[in-house]
Structure 1
Amino acid sequence: MRNRVAVVITAVAMAAGVLSGCSSDGGTEAAPSKTVLVPGRPGEPNKTRVAGPSKPAEPTAAEVGFVQMMIPHHAQALEMSALAPDRAASGKVRSLASRIETAQKVEIAAMRSWLKQHPDAVLKAHGRNHGGQHADMPGMATPEQLKRLRGARGEAFDKLYLDLMIIHHQGALTMVKDVLYKGTDVTVQQLARDVESTQLAEIGRMKDILAG
């Protein structure tokens, strides 16, 4: 639960532009420059130069693709979890589904906000990414599986929901592996780490419920 709370806090920070350093006018605030002393060579006087932060590196195409695909990936988790209140027999399943739904709604909003903050990176990545089709996203439930889930009730729903969600989470971990530590954007890298830690924990929780 602590990890899930951390994800929500991080996602809220993303949506607010805290991690991306956005100014009130939508730009990126740069830290102030400063004057530093550069020692001269023997016999030459010291010199001064203005030093300041370099412009942050633009998000990579892989990072843009990760965010673009994680949005519909999360959306399917919401679709599955929204079925639990009326169909699940186990209170543990309903509680888990509620946490997933609450947190991933926030993450989706944050990721959409991030994409809007980086239009140039999105434009450059266009054509190099797959476009977020279901076939490109590991762990996605098929239409037939979703139909079965909608028709299930009680313990049959619980088992099918947990089985599908474990596979869904494992797919998200595969997506994380493809982008984690392979990009430059602080926000996306933090999101990937949060997804990794929380979904690993939730997989363990779901396996415990199935075993119980």
Structure 2
Amino acid sequence: MRRGVVMVVVVGVLGVGGCGGGAVAPVASRSAPAVDGAASGIDALFLAMMVAHTGQTLEIVRVGLDRATDPGVRTLIAAIRATETDELATMRRWLREAGPSAAAAATRHDHSGHSDAVAGLTRLRAARAADVDRVLLDVLTRHQRTAAALAHAQVTAGTSERVRDLATRIDRSRTAEIALMADLSPA
């Protein structure tokens, strides 16, 4: 029963987002834990999705740092850049360690189906100077909600302890960022 629930959650997150397409090896169930450090198919898929998602986040943040004016917004997005740059390096390293097929999957992963980052970046770049902070917070909030949802599903479905630990940190971090952005949002 539990495995069925886990798979429904994973399929729900991936299916709604339009992700998938056979990018990585078959998914291992949580009932067969991976050797610590080893990534199962579900772990490699999560890492590939998060590498793509984090790349998009860093692009949003880069544009935001070029355009944002509010000091609180600038401080938050600088912190996001530092955190996610480190996480990206870790995830890429783990994918390389998982083998050539997992690392290749990360470079082939089309993340556009479960992220509106492209449209958000277009909105952010086109925003009038007076609207940039508001648009940035809206775009980044939506984007970080997706990251938190992906990470939350991985905590339940993952087999690698270190990948699940990273997913837990991502879920908590993005959820906290969303709350901070709500506090920073202009009226």
Given the two structures, how large is their TM-score scaled by the length of structure 1?
0.64
1:10 corresponds to: none
Q: 1: CA distance between counterparts of 2:109 and 2:69?
A: 33
| Change in 2 beyond 3 A, CA 1:177/1:121 | farther
1:206 corresponds to: 181
1:3 corresponds to: none
C-alpha deviation, 1:189, in angstroms: 0.6
SS at 2:158's partner residue? coil
Which segments of structure 1 move beyond 3 Å, counting only runs of 4 or more? none
Structure 1: runs of 5+ lacking an equivalent: 1-54
Q: Which has the higher contact order (CA 8 A, sep 6+)?
A: 2
1:196 corresponds to: 171
Q: 1: CA distance between counterparts of 2:123 and 2:161?
A: 39
Output the amino acid matched with 2:35. Answer: P
Query: Is the CA contact 1:180–1:193 (under 8 Å) kept in the aligned structure 2?
Result: yes
C-alpha deviation, 1:72, in angstroms: 1.4
Return the match for 1:167 from 121, 138, 142.
Answer: 142
Output the amino acid matched with 2:163. Answer: V
Higher strand share: 1
**1:22-60 Cα deviation digits (max 9, x unpaired):** xxxxxxxxxxxxxxxxxxxxxxxxxxxxxxxxx826422
Q: Does 1:72 align with 2:49?
A: no
**1:47-97 Cα deviation digits (max 9, x unpaired):** xxxxxxxx8264221110000110110111111111233311201111111
1:56 corresponds to: 35
Return the match for 1:145 from 88, 109, 120.
Answer: 120
Q: Work out which of the two has the higher radius of gyration on C-alpha atoms and give 1 or 2.
A: 1
Matches within 5 A, 1:102-121: 102-119=82-99
Number of residue pairs aligned between Structure 1 and Structure 2: 152
1:183 corresponds to: 158
Query: Is the CA contact 1:84–1:97 (under 8 Å) kept in the aligned structure 2?
Result: yes
Matches within 5 A, 1:124-135: 131-135=108-112
C-alpha deviation, 1:102, in angstroms: 1.0
Report sequence identity in percent: 29
2:131 corresponds to: 156
Query: Is the CA contact 2:152–2:168 (under 8 Å) kept in the aligned structure 1?
Result: no
Alpha-carbon RMSD: 2.5
| Change in 2 beyond 3 A, CA 1:154/1:75 | same
Higher helix share: 2
Given the two structures, how large is their TM-score scaled by the length of structure 2?
0.72
C-alpha deviation, 1:120, in angstroms: 6.9
Structure 2: runs of 5+ lacking an equivalent: 1-33
Q: 2: CA distance between counterparts of 1:120 and 1:81?
A: 30
Query: Is the CA contact 1:90–1:155 (under 8 Å) kept in the aligned structure 2?
Result: no
Q: Does 1:81 align with 2:56?
A: no
| Change in 2 beyond 3 A, CA 1:120/1:86 | closer
**1:103-160 Cα deviation digits (max 9, x unpaired):** 111111111110111117728x96xx9x5212443x4323x43122123353411111
| Change in 2 beyond 3 A, CA 1:155/1:209 | farther
